Structure 1
Amino acid sequence: MRVISGRFKGVALATPKTGTRPTTDRTKEAIFSRLDAWGVLDEARVLDLFAGTGALGIEALSRGARELVAVEASKPAAALVVKTVAQLKRNRSWSSDLSARVIVRKAEAYAASGAGAAGAFDVIFIDPPYAFETEACDRLLADLAANGFAGEGTVVMLERSARSERPTPPDGWEITDDRDYGETAVYYIERIEGATGDES
């Protein structure tokens, strides 16, 4: 697996032998074509939940984001993301205004804590295992909104099995677009313009 486009194009991503389900290049390209078209990646703060190989967050950094927080519960997988980030920092295209850090924690616990949000992220990637239940997805979305990780202008990208139930965004949020790519369903979730800030 490699970075598809941008300043780090071609950089290899360290990939665990088992335990993760990396987003296919076809789906990743479709996701980033959409985000690029919306102009949301330039100078963005990006949160990558269930980071796995870090492919989505690192692709965002490559395409113009300035800050990445990658959250991954598996210590071996997180260690590989740390390794990839270290490689990026040695790349001649890395600049001092870029930031990337890896947090070893369950995505659900991170979102529920509200710790470290430091203001809403511009883009949030959620790519849980296909077995992650819809109810848990809905709770995660609600926690991200309630605890300040997601706010006005945030684009949340949720990737699930195309056979899973459609997620239900929290009050004041809506699915603004969704696409199926083979076995994968991708949802884009945004704040409804003019919605109040009380999503609890």
Structure 2
Amino acid sequence: MYRIISGKWKAKKIAAPRHFDVRPTTDFAKEALFSILENTYDMQSVSVLDLFAGIGSISLEFASRGCQDVTSVEMNPKHTSFINSTAAELDMSLQISTQRGDVYDWLKKFRNNKSYEIVFADAPFETEEKKYHELLSLVLKNKYLKPNGVLIVEHQSRLKLDHPNFKFTRKYGNVSFSFYEPTPEAEEEISNQEN
């Protein structure tokens, strides 16, 4: 069970079936995360990529706050259908597009297809450090971020995910969010494509 913190569906409780093996971001951490994001971005005009979307806690939070373009990538078919049914129930089907697949394979397959202001990744907590580095590389080297974009990785606080694009980490108990900026080369190429 989790709740939507703010926006159109503020305080709405979302109950996943009991047999789902999920770990939604805590309310406290989610509130802090969105406080940071809303100081930088207008939620109604950003595009978001939610990786390892689980049962949609983060995707639904963005949609509730008015975001019109959320892509949720999740491997478990039961979870993707739960996101779809919840989005339909809350009248968010036009805002959230679910993609079923392994996140690493999906990122390799769709490289350069589209870029986003916000990429959020909440890999399973037992993910090895080297897989996090693969994730960082796939997102940052393949221009998934717009020039003003940010990649946010949720991970165990004991992990330190150093990378040249690292900006800062915010710690909330045993959960941390690490923020990464786009590579300058990606910024140049995207702005050249737009001109």
User: How far is 1:5 from its partner?
Assistant: 0.3
- What whole-Å deviation, never above 9, does each CA across 1:35-91 have from its counterpart, x for those lacking one? 0111253311111100012111211122232111111111111111111111121xx
Q: How many residue pairs end up in the alignment? A: 185
- State the match for 2:40 in structure 1: 38
Q: In structure 2, what is the Cα distance between the partners aligned to 1:174 and 1:149?
A: 14
User: How far is 1:168 from its partner?
Assistant: 3.4
- What whole-Å deviation, never above 9, does each CA across 1:142-174 have from its counterpart, x for those lacking one? 11123332231111111001122x2233xxx52
List runs of 5+ in structure 2 lacking aligned partners: 188-195
- State the match for 1:167 in structure 2: 161
Q: RMSD of aligned C-alpha atoms?
A: 2.0
Contact 1:45 1:122 in 2 (8 A): yes
Residue 15 (str. 1) matches residue 9 (str. 2) = no
Cα 1:16/1:175, change in 2 over 3 Å? farther
Contact 1:40 1:123 in 2 (8 A): no
Give me the TM-score of the superposition, normalised by structure 1: 0.84
More helix by share: 2
Residue 196 (str. 1) matches residue 185 (str. 2) = yes
Secondary structure of the residue aligned to 1:124 is: strand
Cα 1:151/1:141, change in 2 over 3 Å? farther
Q: In structure 2, what is the Cα distance between the partners aligned to 1:86 and 1:42?
A: 19
- State the match for 2:118 in structure 1: 123
Q: 4+ residue stretches of structure 1 with deviation over 6 A?
A: none
Output aligned runs, 1:75-94, within 5 Å: 75-89=77-91
Q: In structure 1, what is the Cα distance between the partners aligned to 2:17 and 2:166?
A: 32
Contact 2:59 2:96 in 1 (8 A): no
Residue identity matched to 1:4? I
Contact 1:41 1:123 in 2 (8 A): no
- State the match for 1:65 in structure 2: 67
- State the match for 1:54 in structure 2: 56
Residue identity matched to 1:168? D
